Amino acid sequence: MDITKAVDYMREKRERECFGCTIQEMRDSLIFLKDDKVEDLLMLSMSIQSDCQEMLERDYDRNEIRQYLNRSKYWLAEVSRILNKKTVKEFK
């Protein structure tokens, strides 16, 4: 296994442990999203958190709930990235 494949394997393994899927799989699931719409990502994050509340009520696996919360945090970080990028453009 060459170094690139090893790095890709480790990244994918880490993402699956953290999110239950890869980041690319999360991005691919957003077919409704166009042009990094902040509002859509915020609604998605809130929806995931709501799902987590329901999962807690129904005694879902704690690791699965953790992975869903990590997905929500990932999308919030994406919102921050988008907003920071827009802010930087405004100051130029």
DSSP letter string over the chain? --HHHHHHHHHHHHHHHHHSS-HHHHHHT-TT--S--HHHHHHHHHHHHHHHHHHHHTT--HHHHHHHHHHHHHHHHHHHHHHHHHHHHHH-
Query: What pLDDT score was predicted for residue 85?
Result: 84
Domain chopping of the chain, boundaries: 3-91
Mean pLDDT of 40-56: 96
- Percent of the chain clearing pLDDT 90 (strictly above): 72
**pLDDT by residue (tens digit) across 22-31?**
999 999 988 8
pLDDT reading at 92 higher than 70? no
pTM across the whole model: 0.85
